[in-house]
């Protein structure tokens, strides 16, 4: 499994477009769950299997997406 820390650009349905904090690349994240709780600008931790498509933007399938909160 691979972990990505990213910033939410836009979320809809079961997809979310994020910017990878490590390299600034936009990535389309697919999941089996609703992403309606994700807000633009939130920081998220995404766990996926390491497979990323060569499309533009690249796509991954998330195992989990967790919002990172600062307290």
pLDDT in tens, the chain (71 residues): 999 999 999 999 999 999 999 999 999 999 999 999 999 999 999 999 999 999 999 999 999 999 998 77
pTM: 0.94
Token pair 């989990």 is at which residue? 64
Angle at 36 between CA 68 and CA 12, to 5 degrees: 110
Token pair 């998330």 is at which residue? 62
Beta bridge partners of 67: 44
């Amino acid at each position: 499994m691979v972990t990505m820390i990213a910033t939410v650009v836009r979320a809809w349905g079961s997809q979310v477009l994020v910017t990878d904090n490590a390299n600034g690349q936009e990535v389309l994240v697919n999941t089996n769950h609703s992403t309606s709780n994700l807000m633009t600008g939130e920081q998220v931790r995404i766990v996926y299997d390491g497979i990323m498509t060569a499309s533009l933007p690249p796509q991954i399938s998330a195992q989990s997406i967790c919002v990172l909160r600062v307290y």
